[in-house]
Homo-oligomer: A and B are copies of this chain.
């Protein structure tokens, strides 16, 4: 296969990864909106509809294996294609988190609302932005943008700690809120994990672009 075709296939791979990213981001958004606006049908839809994400993951993995099987990809191509496989796995797991959030939403929304849902909104926005930015960084080979994603992870962790503290206070003050507050704590954890996956993607991007391994730069914060 000529280099020309190979480049075309790489472009197609990147395009599919972006579509995968847009899909899981949309599902996270829908799960959080369903939780906050108390829409059981929207939550049901996310909880039930993981098939499209799963099929897309398998298709993208298959594209990667086919590209690896070609004669003579350069070392930089190998880094790019294996990074694409890892990013694909992280995106699929972001999709799993959307399902988890939707399932918790369905349990939480049968009870009266608790106030600190606002911080979750901010966390969700950040986690989605990190996912989007890390993928853009991959496609544009933009290590500066990827580095910016790593910094945002710390902000998500701070917001999560704040939500935890507020929700703990609620539970202590009124045991009647324990189940709901626990649900929201689990959602905060899900959002933290989405941000972790985006961080993994950003680290892969920096490795692809700079050939430098930045994993484990701030593990202790997890």
Cβ B168 vs Cβ A54 within 8 A: no
With a cutoff of 8 Å between Cβ atoms, the chain B residues found around residue A79 in the complex are 65
With a cutoff of 8 Å between Cβ atoms, the chain B residues found around residue A136 in the complex are none
Which residue of chain B has the shortest Cβ distance to A179 in the bound complex? B168
A150 to chain B, nearest CB (A): 16
Cβ B220 vs Cβ A50 within 8 A: yes
Q: Does A151 contact B (CB under 8 A)?
A: no
Please tell me which one of the listed residues B57, B72, B215, B219 contacts residue A215 in the complex, with CB atoms under 8 A apart.
Answer: B57
A135 to chain B, nearest CB (A): 18
Query: Beta-carbon contacts of A153-185 to B below 8 Å, as 1s and 0s?
Result: 000000000000000100110010011001001
Q: Does A96 contact B (CB under 8 A)?
A: yes
Cβ A222 vs Cβ B86 within 8 A: no
CA of A172 to CA of B24 in the docked complex: distance in angstroms?
A: 36
Q: Does A141 contact B (CB under 8 A)?
A: no
Cβ A75 vs Cβ B69 within 8 A: yes
Please tell me which one of the listed residues B58, B179, B216, B220 contacts residue A213 in the complex, with CB atoms under 8 A apart.
Answer: B58
With a cutoff of 8 Å between Cβ atoms, the chain B residues found around residue A72 in the complex are 71
CA of A86 to CA of B71 in the docked complex: distance in angstroms?
A: 23
15 A-B pairs whose Cβ atoms sit less than 8 Å apart in the complex: A54-B219, A57-B215, A58-B215, A64-B82, A65-B78, A65-B82, A71-B72, A96-B219, A96-B222, A99-B219, A168-B178, A168-B182, A172-B175, A178-B178, A189-B189
